[in-house]
Each structure stands twice: as structure tokens, then as C-alpha cells.
Structure 1
Amino acid sequence: MLAAVHKVPFLDLKKQYHQIRDEVLKVTEEVFESNAFSGGPYVEKFEKNFADYCGTSYAMGVNNGTTALQLAMLALGVGPGDEIIVPANTFIATAWGASHVGATPVFVDCDPDTWEIDPARIEERITDRTKVIAGVHLYGQPFDVAAVKAVADKNGLFMVEDAAQAHGARYNGTRIGGFGEMACFSFYPGKNLGAYGEAGGLTTNNKAYYDHIQSLRNHGCQVRYYHDEIGYNMRMDGLQGAILDIKLRYIDGWNARRQQIARMYQQGITHTGVKMQRQPDFAESVYHLFVVTVEDREDFMKYLNDNNVFPGLHYPVPCHLQKAYAHLNYQRGDFPNAEYLADHCVSLPMFAELSDDEVNYVIEVINRY
């Protein structure tokens, strides 16, 4: 008989909220009383603390992670006619960063074991129009930064980190966020560091990029009503900045619990038909997602649901086969590793508030599949 656990959800944000409810309600009242709704002191405080956390000189809060990618491309001077190297297996927003400034995403296959962008396949995709390599710290695990940066440097390209899933992850012992020209973060509610609404951010060590994005996100102006360039309304809400600053104090503990849960999965799941993401020595993942692959995903997910384990699915269609990019004329078979992952991936329940009993129940269910 399987252990007596009622249901194991993929994610439950209420459990986290209950831990910090009093702090959240208190700071919400403060924001309302001070009318600091758009940018302002609560966002500025979070930006300073997040830059310190990431070990970078600057952080900038914006309205979502997709915006962060777009603004990074604009700050780097990317525009129509340019190309951006993007992994084929990532959330589509990585590619939107190129498309939203009129550039073209050029996709690259992933490593068959780490599922991260394959540095050995990047150079063959570079042309004289390539400007940026966008690496993704997929599922919270850092990509091979040194190898990708070496390709970028050799070819005179910028490197940008898509860190939307990797708040607090470490590459060779150093927190991600400062390895490329910029790093782009999402603070979507389900992320390891999540807002209570939409929010995003960037980190950089380059003051010119910082100043430019400060202007771009605020209607292209440094001085109110004096607009130096065509800009955008992409500021972070004051309320989100205040809430994120509270959560920032807890994230290392939450990430440590995610790592503990991941070790339980890695050591406890012995089913030979379940494959996990390989972790190189340089990568310290924060397990935004815990993804496995199985041969018959539909049957496996039905079995989990029938046993009250509720998985997620990230991402069933690789970027190059999305209808939005049909005009680029990619075909099935172009990037077989990314396509295999898309066809066979399943995301197991993963959030810091899972109990040991719930994790052990998931393991027991899977091993009996």
C-alpha cells in the first residue's frame, strides 16, 4: 500500500503566503499610506538589496521578465536585421527578447543530458548579423557560463543571462546575475522569488546599461517631461517592490529546502524509465522546476493524477516549432535533443513547503509505476 497522503499539488502559493502574511499586510498598508505605487522608494530599496544579493553593481526593477529581456536588447543596441542566439528549449519569452526589438532569434539545440544550451553547437549558428548569445539558466540550473562566454568573446558578441528561473543559483560558487552584460529576471508569482502580480528585473555591472534602462523603462526620460528617446512605461509597481524585498530575506532558506527536496527525488527515485537533468560540478541549481523525462508521458501523467500526484508540463513545444516562428522555416528534426525533451518532459511537484511525507509519497508512486 502507498503512504496515506491525500493530494500532492504541483505548486501551492498559499503555504508560502501564510509564513509571511503579517509582514506582507504591514508593508502593503505602508505602500498605500505613502502612495508609492509606481517605482519609488520601495522599488529602490529592493533594487539595492537585490543587487547586493546578486553581487552586482546595479539592479533595475521592471514590470515583467519579458520586458527585462526586451530592454536588455535595446540597451545593447540590438534592432532590425540583427540576430540573437537562443536555446531551442526554453520558455518562449527568451525569444521574444529578440523579436520585440525587431531582431531574429536563431535557435540552438540543447545538450542531451543537462538540457541546457549546448556551447559546442553555438558557433555554427553565428553569422555576421549575430549580436548576442542569450543563455538560459534552465529550471534553476546554471548553463555552462565559461564555455558560452568563450564563444561570445571569440566572436565579439555580447552574452546575456536569462535568469528568470534561477534566483540565487550559483555557477562555480558565485551567484548568477553578473557573468554577462546583463541578467534578466522574472518575478512572476510562481518563481523562487515571486511577486504578488507581474514583475521583473535586470542586473548589471555596467553603469551605461543601467542608466539607459532607467530611461527606457520611464518613457525615455531622466528628467520629468523631458524625453530623450522613444521610451516605454515599464516600471515596477511599488507594492511588488515592497513584497519582493520581504521575500528576498527568505529566499536562501526556501532555495535550501528546494535543494533538499531535489536530493530526495534524486536519491529516492529508482525507476529506470525516469531520467533526470544531469548536474555538472559547476552548477548549484535552485530547482525552480524538477523536470524528468519518460517514454510515455501521457500514460505517466495519467498514472500520477490517478494517484493524487499532480505534475506540471514545461514546455511541450520547443521554440523553433512554435506557430509564431513558422516564418523562420524550422522543421521537426532540426534540434532533436530539444524536441525529445519537449515530447517527454514532466515536471514533478516542487515548492519549498512540500513536506517530507509528500515528497516520499511522490517517490513511492513513481517507483511503483
Structure 2
Amino acid sequence: MAEQMSRGSQEPIRNRFPTLFEVLSRKTVAPLDLYSFYIYMRDQQRAVDYLDFYLDVSQHLILCRAYVRRLHRSVFEDTPEIEKNSKRSSYILHDAGEGPSGEKGSIADQRLSAFLRSDHGSRAQSPQNSHGSGRSSPAGRERPPRPSFMTLDSPGDSSSPGHASSSENVPRREDLRGSAEKILYTYLLPGSEREIIIPQSILHDVQEAIEGPDQRSDPELFDSAKDYVFQAMERDAFPGFLQSKGLGNLVPQSMMFRLIIGLISVFGAVWASFILILRDKPRTTRCWLILPYTVGIYFIFTHQYMLDPILALLGYSEYTLFDFNRMREPFVIKTLRMRSMSMLLFFLLVTVATCCIFIFVPGKDL
């Protein structure tokens, strides 16, 4: 089987690397989890704004779902008992919130967006109460999405849909509008604080939908921009992330540090080798050359393979410079252990051959 369920856990054990969608959906664990991908986008790709935009749009969808669920509950609670069994009492709201049992993804989200658009006429806020009108909203009214991934609401947060019943965290229609405008003014408009580059046609459609006469705030208005960013990350960033964290366990700063130490050690070992050979020192003395050659070749190999085999065999991966964390993704652990064994075998062959050349070559006293 390609995937099996781990004992006592609902997380599948993959016999493959995960997809980008699985990483963004938090269905993976270290070192291929969302936190690792965030660090990779921030430190190596220098494109964390694209990931933050994607996560903020996903958070906007959660906010919309929470709003519809709250509206569903309020309508149900205000409905007389005799009408609660009526098919029309909550049919539209129920379908807009989650859809039929077992329905996932785009169909339910399309119903949610369709409901929010149809609900706009009776509940839309006036422009002066919006985030982008140049006036501040009343205190406590606006609840913008998180500014970055590091403050992303977790599934157990009170702001998640399952906890939307809390009075101070119940989303309102103006919250949806404020959230949509915050995304537009933070990421999409030219010259914005964290501007990302998307096609002009997509930007125009989103801006027109939010600032135009419809004043939309449903999550579907970001679909084109979200799909474009997803494809860009999948094409330009995700393969490098898999290579860095799925086939290696070192970060670029550590690799450069190791390369410098390796080159210095090998240069020092070669220099000492010629000194000992040209002074006809005994082979027992030359055996000490094994130490600098071993250190130098090992660090050069770790740089070339982007992998420290000893750390990999111990089950650790480097998140940031000298910050090591235990790996939990079974397929990555298996892959890195196999690569580590192959690398160690090759390393030993090169080290032994190099040391034998400089130890057993005849000396000559000059």
C-alpha cells in the first residue's frame, strides 16, 4: 500500500514525499511540516510574503465559515419551535456553511461564497466603516487576519470555527470585509507593505470585486490569486524544499561553515604531509595525518551532500544554524538513513585512500 495509518494516530505513513497541498494543510510532520516550509521560504527563498498571503487567504476562508455558522445558529435560535422542522428554516445557511455530509473542498466553498454574495445586499457595511476608507472602524469592530504565520491561530484557538460561540470572538460581516481589504492592501496593491507579484488581470479582478459596487468579501474572490501563488510555490520553491529537507538535513549557513572548515583542514593536512615526507619522518608519525584528513573530507562531503550522516542516523535535522530538531516523517527518516550509509561508505573509501597515499609513500630527507 502506498500509505498506511500509523497505530494510535490518524496521520498516514507515506511511502513518498508529501505534496505541497499536504504541507499547507498541516498533514505532515517534521522536517517537512509547515513550520519548516515557512523557515525555508523566509531564509532561503526570501519569498515568505507569498506563503503568508496564501495562509491569510486560508484564514479568511475560516473566518467566513465561522460567520456563516454563527448566522446559522442565530437564525435557528430565533426560529419558533413549530418552524424548526421546516425545510426552509435553515436549508440555505446549512448548505452554505459546510455542505452535505462527506462533501469536501470546492463545492462547499462555492456554496459559502454564493451565500455571502447573496447576503451582501442586506448586511453589507457602508464604505466609511471599511478598512480602506481612510477612517478607523469603531473599537473592537475590526478583527483583521494575523500579520504573519508566526501568529497564525491554531486549530484549538478561540477564533477557529469550533470556538466561534465566544461572544468577543464571534465574527461579524464587517470583520469579513476588513479581512478581505487587509489582504488586498497588504499584499496585492502596488506599493503595499508586503507586495507580491501577480498578473495584472488577477489583481484588477480582485480589486474591482472588493472596492467596486459589489463590495464582495467572500473567499471565492481570492481563488485566482491563491491558485497562482500556489502554483508559483509548487514550481519554484517546493522542489528545493524537498531537496533541502527531504534529501538533506543542513541549512546553507551550516554548509558554508562546514566547507570552510573542511578546506582549511585538508589544506593543513596536505601541507603537513609534504613536510613529513620531505623530512623523511617515520610512518608512525605520519599516521597522525588521519585526523585532519578525516575531519576535512567529512566536512567537505557534508557540504556536497547537504547531509550530516551522523545527525541523520541519530534522527535530527537542522532548522536554522545550529538548531537541531528530531525528525518525525518516517519516509524522510528512511531516505536519509539510506543516503547516510552510502555517503559514509564513500567517505571512508576516499579517506583511507588519501591517508594511505601520504602515509606509505617513501620519504626523502632534503
* TM-score of Structure 1 vs Structure 2, range by shorter chain: under 0.3
TM-score under structure 1 normalisation? Answer: 0.24
Q: Please give the TM-score of this superposition, normalised by the length of structure 2.
A: 0.24
**Hey, which of these two has a bigger chunk of helix by percent?**
2
Structure of higher CA gyration radius: 2
